[in-house]
Amino acid sequence: MFSNTVFPILALKNQNSDLRSQTSVKTQPRVLALSSGGGHWVQLLRLRPAFKDCDVTYATVGRGYEPEIEGAKFRAVIDSNRDQKLKLILSFFSIAWLILTKRPHTIVSTGAAPGFFAIFIGRLLGKKTIWVDSIANAEELSMSGQKAGKYATHWLTQWEHLAKPEGPHYFGNVLGDASASPNSEIRSQKSEVNSQNSDLQANPSNLSPQSLDNGSQVSVQRSAISDRNKFRIFVTVGTDQHFNRMVKIIDKWAANNPHIEIFAQIGESSCQPTHLNYSKFLAPQEFVEQIKSASLIIGHAGMGTILTALKHQKPILVMPKLAKLGEHRNEHQTATAKYLSDQGKINVAFDEHALVAKLNNLKELTATDSVGAYANTTLTEKLSAFRQN
């Protein structure tokens, strides 16, 4: 009698508990955080504190990014840019379908074309939309960012000098709070890097951009990092357009400095290195591991590379890609490099001659700064307020 009465009651209580739990989940505000890959994605993930206590779906242009969201909901969409007309159409419809099926209350994006589509479609469907223009656009808003202003409920820039009363507005950036990177840790990192640099004994030869095509052919294959005490350089040129200028310089320098381990991600480069290990592309997790294992990062002025290097307190030397040489779509990397260099966050070589000079003086390259795990608290709190109001 007792068991027949109690067990059904307990079962009913459990069912009610499960129902309350399900109701709680259903009433959580639904957020779609969507962007392109690379630097746009890195910036989007740095906004995560703004989505606390939300039912968040993260979306970007490849499944390889899924491990970075640590078990949260993830969806892949079709990538596109303005040079790929058919893929633009396919990307548009893949994002529209995602929004229709996930039914988010709020859509947040850091760019680029896929992000604009999400903002555009979301606004048409009556969703709250938030555009945070990439920090890579230091002198003017990105093309997508300029268009997004017409459709975003909240339209933000990450540079105070670009803010206007009518928008875009400025509430901070993804670089993080100064307090999130203790000076003691930065000093420790600088000491470690300087110690490694003092042991280089490099004696690099005098290179010139005119001599970069010389050198004998050697067998090159990708290899795993083995000796963690050895000074290592990780070179990365991004995934968009070639960067033959940088690849040629690093390859020639590597021939004259075989005692320094170098691994390069060369992208669409038509220049095949003959004196260093390389891969055209790396999965997102492989990219992070290469940065974590390196003593020095050398790369284009892409925000994904810069932010990841700073997060792991690695010294970074960048050379901006130039649109006039067909290396990028515009000259924003030069502006990005200038502003971040002025803030003491990165080392910059603006041309081939400067890159050669800095390679010949590696001992002078130190960790300049670091960033915390997330964006400025003021920015994430503002985004959270936008989402709630």
Question: Are the C-beta atoms of 107 and 77 separated by less than 8 Å?
Answer: no
Cα distance between residue 265 and residue 236, in whole Å: 5
Structure tokens of 241?
Answer: 């357009």
Q: What is the per-residue pLDDT for 289?
A: 97
Q: How many CA atoms lie within 13 A of 3 on its CB side?
A: 0
- Residue type for position 148: A
Q: How many CB atoms lie within 10 A of CB 302?
A: 24
Q: Where are the beta strands (DSSP E) in the chain?
A: 30-34, 55-60, 73-76, 106-109, 128-132, 154-157, 169-170, 232-236, 261-265, 277-279, 296-299, 316-318, 347-348
- 354 Cβ partners below 8 Å, 6+ apart? 319, 348
For the chain, domains (ranges, CATH) are: 2-177+374-388 (3.40.50.2000), 182-364 (3.40.50.2000)
Please state, in angstroms and as integers, the Cα–Cα distance from residue 115 to each residue in 121, 131, 133, 303, 310, following that order.
10, 8, 10, 17, 25
DSSP letters along 99-115, please? Answer: HHHH--SEEEE--SHHH
DSSP, collapsed to helix, strand or coil, labels residue 226 as coil
DSSP, collapsed to helix, strand or coil, labels residue 381 as helix
Cα distance between residue 99 and residue 91, in whole Å: 12
Question: Are the C-beta atoms of 188 and 149 separated by less than 8 Å?
Answer: no
Q: How many CA atoms lie within 13 A of 210 on its CB side?
A: 0
What size, in residues, is the chain?
389
Cα distance between residue 374 and residue 383, in whole Å: 13
Structure tokens of 154?
Answer: 């909240």
Cα distance between residue 43 and residue 35, in whole Å: 9
**pTM, to two decimals:** 0.82
Question: Are the C-beta atoms of 299 and 266 separated by less than 8 Å?
Answer: no
Q: What is the per-residue pLDDT for 232?
A: 95
Beta bridge partners of 33: 58, 108
Cα distance between residue 25 and residue 193, in whole Å: 47
Structure tokens of 240?
Answer: 């968009």
Cα distance between residue 275 and residue 205, in whole Å: 15
- Residue type for position 289: E
Cα distance between residue 262 and residue 386, in whole Å: 45
pLDDT digit of tens for each residue in the chain (389 aa)?
434 444 333 343 444 444 444 444 458 999 999 999 999 999 999 999 999 999 999 999 999 999 999 889 999 999 887 778 899 999 999 999 999 999 999 999 999 999 999 999 999 999 999 999 999 999 999 999 999 999 999 999 999 999 999 999 999 999 998 655 544 344 444 444 444 544 454 454 445 545 454 433 333 333 333 344 589 999 999 988 889 999 999 999 999 999 999 999 999 888 899 999 999 999 999 999 999 999 999 999 999 999 999 999 999 999 999 999 989 888 999 999 999 999 889 999 999 999 999 999 988 886 667 788 999 999 999 999 999 88
Q: Where are the beta strands (DSSP E) in 311-357?
A: 316-318, 347-348
DSSP letters along 233-266, please? Answer: EEEE--SSS--HHHHHHHHHHHHH-TTSEEEEE-
Q: What is the per-residue pLDDT for 224?
A: 35
Beta bridge partners of 59: 34, 75
Please state, in angstroms and as integers, the Cα–Cα distance from residue 152 to each residue in 60, 221, 368, following that order.
19, 47, 36
Structure tokens of 35?
Answer: 């962007």
Q: What is the per-residue pLDDT for 207?
A: 53
Q: What is the DSSP letter of 351?
A: S
Which is it for the CA torsion 218, 219, 225, 227, positive or negative? Answer: negative
